[in-house]
Structure 1
Amino acid sequence: MTLELTARDRSMLDGGQGPSAAAAMKILVAFSNAIGARGLLDISGAHIDGCLYHGKAGLDFVERLVVGGGRVQVPTTLNVGSFDLIHPGMVKMPAAEEAPARRLMKAHLELGCQATFTCAPYQTRFRPDFGQQIAWGESNAIVFANSVIGARTNRYGDFIDLCCAMTGRAPAWGLHLSENRRGRILFELDIAQAEPNDSLFVGVGLIIGQASGDRIPVISGLPKPRDEDQLKALGAAAATTGAVALFHAVGITPEARTLDEAFQGHLPEETIRIARADIDQALARLSGVPDGASLAAVSLGTPHFSHEEWMRLLPMLREAAPGKGIPIYVNTGRATLTRLQEEGALAGMEAFGLVPVADTCTYVTAILERLDGVVMTNSGKWAHYAPGNIGVTVAFADMEDCIRSAAVGHVVRGVS
């Protein structure tokens, strides 16, 4: 199959817009040929996952684009980096590692990217609209954009996402195309009607991520979410335990008003029933920490806390009044943090152990003061990755239980 390029594509490939744009287009063409795309399409935005420093190769790649005078062609947000530029004093990083980590973040800004440094670009003013074609990296952002918003992106990895941003183009392939967005596997929830807490959505996400493979899951019987943050938690868990880039929740997400619409008139290839016991079992696998275990810290906000989540958290802190020296780290985007500071919402909250973290996340950066005790979280993604990434023992629970545990100094769950 031959990749069809427009005259503008060919001009860019031939150096008509400079050496950096030519290099980006050359990589994008090779990638598109490898996956069998027939052509390229225009995108309205991009989100870059390559700000996290993993080694010299990533920095060299971006630096080369900077030296070549490269600029992104569409509004481009940046994922978390390896450093909290807002609160640099809390990051424990050797100078030899700090310098390239900071440089990588700065180099992306020199390409014209926006200094968002958040894994939740959908919480910024750059949130896409339904049906818009975008090129996003970062697994939770991808599944949120596709599923909750109805924008269109594939799971773009490091460098390819930036090449799309540098050219304003993406391969016309995969989830960019309507026919590839239909559901393939059905998950029927069989649970008693109850108030849908956050952990329910995390548990469902864990299950569909593990069982879907490369098939798009459709969920029927999902309780109406309190807000989009519960769908954010579901998608993040599904993208963490599997390769889910799009899910349909019947009657909830925009491309699944009915079961028939979600499957585009086809029948599911497989149907899996999810009972309450399945959800409890999936959540139990996130941690084997018993109630009563001594607590070292709480970490919330993976993906980054929204303003709405902050508005739920702050009254909990005032009511529980944790003050036993248990830090409560909350990862959030700098735009959200700025809004909270302008509103005066965080005034005096450090007395309750609150430690806001911006630009990065506590499971990828050395921020936690103690790694020798149990860290409690309400995030399926954090609970999944943190033990391997930073070597901590994790206890998973809803946010209310995390705050109550911080107040008493040990793990408690389900206590009213």
Structure 2
Amino acid sequence: MYLTRIEERILSGEYGEAKQLALKTIVKVGEALGAERLIPIKHAHVSGISYGTIGDHGLALLEDLVEKGAQVSVPTTVNPIGFDSEDPYLLSTVGVRVDEGFVRGQLRIIKALKAMGAKATLTCTPYYLPDTRSLSPGDHVSWGESSAILYGNTVIGVRTNREGGPLALMSAIAGRTYYWGLHLDEYRTPRVGFKLESPEPLDEVMAGLLGKIVSERYVGLRPPYVKARLRDELAVKEMLAAIGAAGSLAMIHLEGVTKPPIDEGRLESVEEVDWRELRDLYEEHRPSWRPDIVFLGCPHSRAEDLARLAKQLADKPAPRSKIVVTMSRYEYSRFRREYPDYYNVLEKKAVVVRDTCLIVAPLRGENGSPKIVTNSYKAYFYLSRKGLQVGLSTIEDMAQLIYQ
């Protein structure tokens, strides 16, 4: 691999042991993949920081990096943790069991990341933060978190491979990543497509299920082209999150969203997705039972999403199901500021939690565990694998389930 003079000096240890270790890790991964050089990055997003995910071994790595003097070289944001940082036991009423050892371990993780200069944003939607507004199409970044990676590549047009949390952190420290895969033009051009003709634009649940179909059927290094009518931003976000959960893709070329546009006629093949198949799949996932928990916010909710939910609940009595909403602190502040009436509704009828998500919180399926309805296929994918009974419903249909 070709290295610049500065990179050679980093590898020799002139910039400290931590930066040397970080760059050595990136070089080894790049060489294994056949990368010819490294590329500077403008931003990093570190995933996998819940204590329930990385445990004591991950914590030890982070604290070792701090002892070695590690500092991030670019603006760096981080993923959700296992609880609301200001109220660790807020979700105890819905089956999330957080003990004191978990809290101590999680807070040490956050302390270590902050010591390295990372910003404790604690959200899986860094693309909604002011921190990323300066990013432009073509900018190279190193992001963990599958849904954020897909959104960044597909919607914003930044360039990142599907990095794990540790490698994204190493890139943040080194300020570089390996120049391979989706950092290159040739790997961002689709050859194969999927096309869905639907009688109406897809809501967030239907879009998520289409993402599941695409992710499970497509195999290849280049992103597939996807042509479908999606209802709104929430549908786009949930489709991309579903694709990331159900498979290994890091990007799609979404017609009307991803730029530059491509000529569909130049694709080697296009598979028609049957609308009836998608509709039947929706019926399979739609619950016939009243949920114990209605969960919104995977990936983290925007203020606009919560306004839609509050609108459905505004003139209703106290819900018969518990409503859990997860979001970033940034969007929480924006919700309070821009939608004060709807905020007052949800404050009374829902548990609004920041910094975490049910899929990274210590919630486990067991006898008597809660039945959950969500509008997110990603949440369905991970929560059902924890042994929980999960169903899918749009925001608009949730109110009917809660009061049935």
| Structure 2 residue 333 is matched with structure 1 residue 338 | yes
Alignment of 1:3-402 (within 5 A): 3-53=1-51, 54-91=54-91, 92-127=97-132, 128-192=135-199, 194-215=200-221, 216-220=223-227, 222-223=228-229, 225-256=230-261, 258-259=263-264, 265=266, 267-268=267-268, 270-284=269-283, 287=285, 290-291=287-288, 293-319=289-315, 321-343=316-338, 344=340, 345-352=342-349, 354-366=350-362, 372-389=369-386, 391-402=387-398
Normalization by structure 1: what TM-score?
0.89
| TM-fit CA distance, 1:356 | 0.8
Task: Give the CA deviation at 1:117.
Answer: 0.5
- C-alpha separation in 1, matches of 2:237 and 2:219: 20
Q: What secondary structure is seen at the aligned counterpart in 2 of 1:88?
A: coil
Secondary structure of 2:314's aligned partner: helix
CA shift digits 1:293-343 (9 cap, x unpaired): 232110011000012212222212214x25144211011111111222344
Contact 1:47 1:77 in 2 (8 A): yes
Q: Distance in 1 between matches of 2:294 and 2:317?
A: 11
Return the alpha-carbon distance in structure 2 between the equivalents of residues 360 and 385 of structure 1: 15
Write the letter of the residue equivalent to 2:105: P
Change (3 A) 1:374 1:166: same
Deviation at 1:121, TM superposition (A): 0.3
TM-score (norm 2): 0.91
User: Post-superposition shift, 1:135?
Assistant: 0.4
CA contact (8 A) 1:296 1:373 kept: yes
Does the 8 Å contact 1:122/1:145 carry over to 2? Answer: yes
| C-alpha distance in 2 between matches for 1:369 and 1:347 | 32
Deviations 1:263-306 (A, max 9, x none): xx5x32x4321111121244345x3x652x23211001100001
Q: Distance in 1 between matches of 2:28 and 2:278?
A: 42
Task: Assess if the C-alpha contact under 8 Å between 2:314 and 2:345 holds in 1.
Answer: no
C-alpha distance in 1, partners of 2:264/2:270?
A: 13
RMSD between superposed Cα atoms in Å = 2.0
| CA offsets 1:75-119 (integer angstroms, 9 cap, x no match) | 001011122203323253122222112211221111101111000
Residue 66 of structure 1 aligns to a residue whose secondary structure is: helix
One-letter code aligned to 1:129: S
1:405 equivalenced with 2:397 (yes/no): no
Q: Tell whether the 8 Å contact from 1:83 to 1:359 is kept in structure 2 after alignment.
A: yes
User: Moved runs in structure 1, 4+ residues, more than 6 A?
Assistant: 367-370
- Structure 1: tracts of 5 or more residues without a match: 409-416
The one-letter code sitting in structure 2 at the alignment partner of 1:116 is T
* 1:243 Cα offset (Å): 1.2
CA distance 1:149–1:322, change in 2 (3 Å): farther
Q: Contact between 1:248 and 1:255, CA under 8 Å: does it hold in 2? A: no
- Secondary structure of 1:61's counterpart equals helix
| Alpha-carbon distance, 1:16 to partner | 1.5
Unaligned runs of 5+ in 2: 92-96
For residue 298 of structure 1, give the secondary structure of its aligned residue in structure 2.
strand
Counterpart secondary structure, 1:271: strand
Output the CA distance in 1 between the equivalents of 2:287 and 2:256: 37
Segment of structure 1 superposing worse, 91-100 or 171-180: 91-100
Bigger Cα displacement from structure 2, 328-337 vs 369-378: 369-378
Contact 2:154 2:257 in 1 (8 A): no
* Maintained 8 Å contact 1:136/1:155: yes
**Which stretch of the first structure deviates more once superposed, 244-253 or 67-76?**
244-253
1:373 Cα offset (Å):
3.8
8 Å CA contact 2:204–2:376 kept in 1: the answer is no
Q: What residue number does 2:94 align with?
A: none
User: Deviations along 1:236-259, whole A, 9 cap, x unmatched?
Assistant: 111111112111122332233542
SS in structure 1 of the partner of residue 292 of structure 2: strand
Whether the 8 Å CA contact 1:20–1:69 is kept in 2: the answer is yes
Give the number of aligned pairs: 391
**Structure 1 residue 195, shift from structure 2 partner:** 4.2
Between the aligned partners of 2:44 and 2:343, the Cα distance in structure 1 is: 31
1:175 to partner: Cα distance: 0.1
User: Are the structure 2 counterparts of residues 160 and 229 from structure 1 closer, same or farther at C-alpha, using a change threshold of 3 Å?
Assistant: same
| Aligned-residue offset at 1:387 | 1.8
The answer to whether the 8 A contact 1:250-1:259 is kept is: no
- Mapped to 2, the partners of 1:332 and 1:101 lie a distance apart of 18
1-structure distance, mates of 2:262, 2:63: 46
CA contact 1:250–1:258 (8 Å) conserved in 2: no
In structure 1, distance between residues paired with 2:278 and 2:187:
29
- Give distance in 2, aligned partners of 1:351 and 1:255: 45
What SS is found at the alignment partner of 2:348? helix
8 Å Cα contact 2:121-2:328 kept in structure 1: yes
User: Any conservation in 2 of the 1:118–1:304 contact (CA below 8 Å)?
Assistant: yes
Residues 50 and 342 (structure 1), Cα distance of their counterparts in 2 relative to 1, 3 Å cut = same
